[in-house]
Amino acid sequence: MRHATVTRNTLETQITVSINLDGSGVGCFETGVPFLDHMMDQIARHGLVDLDVKAVGDLHIDAHHTVEDIGITLGQAFARAIGDKKGIRRYGHAYVPLDEALSRVVIDLSGRPGLVYNIDFTRASIGQFDVDLFSEFFHGFVNHAMVTLHIDNLRGINSHHQAETVFKAFGRALRMAVETDPRMADQMPSTKGTLTA
């Protein structure tokens, strides 16, 4: 089973993330940031990964450190769980609509961190959640998961729909990329022979 648990403690946050890439979409989230919990549930369900995230952060200031550090810790756990990447598909992509909103996410488990992020949210916040923090979450993830990630919200009027299509598409793209490819057997999906250096 490809799974990992990572605990990351700083003066600002204390976070534990457990991930099972061969799960069934079960999620358990206790972060103190309800809308982020809702979005991470989309990752679990649509990515068919089991995901457990516990976080205590300095929410009396704002949610910035908590959201960013959850992205970092999730990225660290993912990097451990995926291992040497032999026999996987490596690339994943998904388009997901929700009513008027449509988003595209493309991922490469390249071993190189990179984020292209294009979301023009129609509101600055969704409930109490500052939408700028989604960028911090994904930056934290890619920098520690060592993946290349392209996120494009192609259209949308309702900011909740915009966010939800992004996270659903992210989950589905991730699911495709981590799948084992029977034609690859135990081969590395790279002409350079490694995706970790």
- What digits encode the pLDDT tens for the residues 44-57? 999 999 999 999 99
pLDDT interval class at 125 (50, 70, 90): very high
Question: Is 191's pLDDT higher than 70?
Answer: no
* Cα–Cα distance measured from residue 1 to residue 75, given in angstroms and rounded to the nearest whole number: 18
What is the structure's pLDDT at 27?
97
Are residues 92 and 177 in contact, defined by beta-carbon separation less than 8 angstroms?
A: yes
Instruction: Name the region of 32 (left: φ>0; alpha: ψ -120 to 50; beta: rest).
Output: left
What is the structure's pLDDT at 196?
73
For residue 16, the one-letter residue type is T
Any idea which of 5-9, 88-92, 192-196 has the lowest mean pLDDT? 192-196
Rg of the chain over Cα atoms, rounded to whole angstroms, equals 16
Instruction: Name the region of 179 (left: φ>0; alpha: ψ -120 to 50; beta: rest).
Output: beta
What is the structure's pLDDT at 18?
98
Which among 83, 103, 93, 87 has a CA at the least distance from the CA of 39?
A: 103
Query: In degrees to the nearest 10, what's the CA dihedral of 153, 17, 26, 133?
Result: -20
Taking only the tens place, the pLDDT of each residue in 68-120 is 999 999 999 999 999 999 999 999 999 999 999 999 999 999 999 999 999 99
* Cα–Cα distance measured from residue 186 to residue 180, given in angstroms and rounded to the nearest whole number: 9
Q: Which residues of 30-59 are buried (b: 16+ CB within 10 A; e: fewer)?
A: ebebebbbbbbbbbbbbbbbbbbbbbebee
Query: For residue 84, what are its two tokens?
Result: 């040497």
Question: Is 190's pLDDT higher than 80?
Answer: no
* Cα–Cα distance measured from residue 90 to residue 188, given in angstroms and rounded to the nearest whole number: 9
pTM equals: 0.95
Any idea which of 21-30, 111-120, 181-190 has the lowest mean pLDDT? 181-190
pLDDT interval class at 194 (50, 70, 90): low
pLDDT interval class at 10 (50, 70, 90): very high
Are residues 148 and 180 in contact, defined by beta-carbon separation less than 8 angstroms?
A: no
Residues facing 4 on adjacent strands: 19
* Cα–Cα distance measured from residue 148 to residue 142, given in angstroms and rounded to the nearest whole number: 7
The CATH superfamily assigned to 3-178 is Imidazole glycerol phosphate dehydratase; domain 1 (3.30.230.40)
Residue range 117-142: average pLDDT?
Answer: 97
What is the structure's pLDDT at 188?
63
